[in-house]
């Protein structure tokens, strides 16, 4: 599952024309090619997206430039009209111009009958670094067509920086008693399910199904994103809350309670009998999140009299209090989400009469406050472990936002009616 998005793209030709030592070797953790670029240490490589021909050219260029911008690892160098007209010559890229603009690389994408043709140029070396063809039959401007371009952006980010981008990922969330899905760039928001007052969607690691809870009737359901059909996994009296799918895709962990508190349960995703994991003794135990290796679960529990973050083994044993009790003016910590690299847990804490998003380092338990503007809650990690989506009311309406925890840069992801309980997808296969 490491390299899913390539499956449907069928690279027709993959030709590395130039390989720079020592960064040239194929990165064994990546399916892509690492392109050694020359740029200042500590800065982001500047990348110019050259003008794209054809009716969809402007869209293609805008989407890829925006992907670079939102990815926060590549600095998209926007060419003004004059520069754009001079950036390409009959003989090839205008190397002096690109160098003057600060581009370490230039990207030329050309729509073809079968998809897209990609050429990447290394400006410092004045050479072609990569040529590749991407096949897609999706209609221009469709969600799948945009996904194909996001896949190119993510490949390029990986080639430039060694870390795959997140442009091709999506976020699910609740809005107006429906589950919605939106692309990581904020485009294409569409409802996924409206059955049973759904809440708390979460991704199957396969990226193909979404587990969610329903309030009326109370239960846990799973919707297949390709068919839109939902099936009920478990339901009954009381309340069902916050399902998640285990990293191996085998089980669903969720919170459930009737008359004696709310505890965490596990049930096979294929169906079966639930088994209780937590021993809450009448307290609330909700919002579980798996460690990437699937061996531990972080969750919120009210067992100490107020909501705090705890960890336990996946079988419910070895419970530890994670969050220290002396942060914020009131003890209320909730909504933990384990980072994909396993190092951090993001959560929300009551501070200054409202909620802020923080991370806690699992090694030394050091805390870092990530937000301060408005009420901020429900953090969920992007698969790159660097971006978080969360809910903020900083504009007056609860919307989803995206934060780059390295630069502190944030952007609004959703607009319109209020949204909440977002969950960021794993890396997705292209449609």
CA distance 341 to 355: 25
Q: Which residue in the set 125, 143, 306, 394 belongs to the binding site for another protein (CB under 8 A)?
A: 306
Interface map 162-191 toward another protein (x if CB under 8 A): ------------x--x--------------
Strand order in the sheet with 344-351: 333-338, 344-351, 354-361, 367-369
Please report, as residue ranges, which positions from 253 to 282 form the binding site for another protein (by CB under 8 A).
255, 257-262
Comparing CB distances to another protein, the nearer of 62 and 258 is 258
Comparing CB distances to another protein, the nearer of 111 and 257 is 257
- What one-character-per-residue DSSP string does 198-221 give? EEEEEE-TTSSEEEEEETTTTEEE
C-alpha count within 13 angstroms, C-beta hemisphere, residue 35? 32
Q: Which residue in the set 65, 184, 348, 356 belongs to the binding site for another protein (CB under 8 A)?
A: 348
CA distance 220 to 115: 40
Q: Which residues pair with 107 in a beta bridge?
A: 49, 120
Residue 284 binding another protein, by CB under 8 A: yes
Strands 75-77 and 46-49: parallel
Please report, as residue ranges, which positions from 374 to 403 form the binding site for another protein (by CB under 8 A).
377-378
Comparing CB distances to another protein, the nearer of 133 and 337 is 337
Tokens coding 107: 């990207």
Residue 327 binding another protein, by CB under 8 A: no
Comparing CB distances to another protein, the nearer of 111 and 261 is 261
φ, ψ at 2 (rounded to 5°): -70, -35
Comparing CB distances to another protein, the nearer of 80 and 329 is 329
- Torsion, Cα 243 244 249 252, to 10 degrees, reads -30
Residue 323 binding another protein, by CB under 8 A: no
CB of 332 to another protein, least distance (A): 7
Please report, as residue ranges, which positions from 196 to 255 form the binding site for another protein (by CB under 8 A).
197, 199-200, 213, 215-216, 218, 237-239, 241-242, 255
Residue 111 binding another protein, by CB under 8 A: no
What Rg do the C-alpha atoms of the chain give, in angstroms?
23
Tokens coding 251: 């089980």
CB of 257 to another protein, least distance (A): 5
CA distance 364 to 378: 23
CB of 27 to another protein, least distance (A): 39
Reduced to 3 states (helix: H, G, I; strand: E, B; else coil), residue 116 is: strand
Residues that bind another protein (CB under 8 A): 174, 177, 197, 199-200, 213, 215-216, 218, 237-239, 241-242, 255, 257-262, 284-287, 300, 302, 306-307, 332, 334-335, 348, 377-378, 420-421
């Amino acid at each position: 599952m490491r390299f899913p998005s390539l499956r449907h793209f069928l690279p027709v030709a993959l030709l590395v024309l130039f390989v720079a030592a020592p960064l040239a070797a194929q990165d064994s953790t990546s399916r892509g090619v690492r392109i050694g670029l020359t740029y200042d240490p500590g800065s982001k490589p500047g990348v110019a997206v050259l003008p794209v021909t054809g009716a969809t050219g402007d869209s293609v260029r805008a989407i890829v430039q925006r992907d670079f911008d939102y990815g926060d690892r590549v600095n998209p160098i926007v060419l003004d009209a004059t520069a754009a007209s001079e950036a390409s010559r009959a003989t090839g890229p205008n190397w002096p111009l690109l160098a003057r603009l600060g581009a370490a690389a230039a990207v030329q994408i050309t729509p073809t009958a079968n998809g897209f043709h990609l050429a990447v140029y290394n400006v410092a070396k004045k050479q072609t670094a990569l040529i590749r063809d991407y096949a897609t039959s999706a209609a221009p401007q469709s969600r799948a067509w945009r996904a194909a371009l996001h896949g190119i952006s993510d490949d390029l980010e990986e080639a430039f920086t060694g870390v795959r981008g997140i442009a091709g990922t999506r976020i699910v969330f609740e809005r107006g008693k429906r589950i919605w899905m939106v692309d990581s760039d904020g485009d294409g928001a569409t409802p996924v399910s409206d059955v049973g007052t759904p809440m708390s969607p979460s991704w199957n690691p396969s990226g193909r199904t979404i587990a969610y809870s329903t309030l009326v009737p109370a239960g846990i359901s799973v919707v297949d994103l390709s068919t839109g059909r939902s099936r009920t996994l478990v339901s009954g009296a009381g309340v069902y809350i916050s399902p998640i799918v285990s990293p191996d895709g085998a089980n669903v962990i969720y919170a459930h309670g009737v008359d004696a508190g709310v505890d965490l349960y596990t049930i096979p995703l294929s169906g079966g009998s639930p088994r209780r994991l937590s021993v809450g003794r009448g307290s609330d135990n909700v919002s579980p999140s798996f460690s990437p290796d699937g061996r531990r679960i972080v969750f919120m529990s009210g067992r100490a009299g107020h909501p705090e973050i705890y960890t336990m083994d996946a079988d419910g044993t070895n419970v530890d209090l994670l969050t220290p009790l002396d942060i914020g003016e009131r003890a209320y910590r909730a909504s933990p989400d384990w980072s994909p690299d396993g190092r951090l847990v993001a959560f929300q804490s009551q501070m200054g009469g409202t909620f802020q998003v923080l991370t806690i380092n699992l090694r030394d338990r050091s805390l870092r406050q990530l937000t301060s503007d408005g009420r901020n809650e429900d953090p969920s990690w992007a698969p790159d472990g660097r971006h978080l989506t969360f809910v903020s009311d900083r504009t007056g309406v609860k919307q989803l936002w995206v934060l780059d925890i390295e630069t502190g840069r944030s952007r609004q992801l959703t607009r319109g009616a209020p949204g909440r309980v977002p969950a960021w997808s794993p890396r997705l296969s292209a449609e």
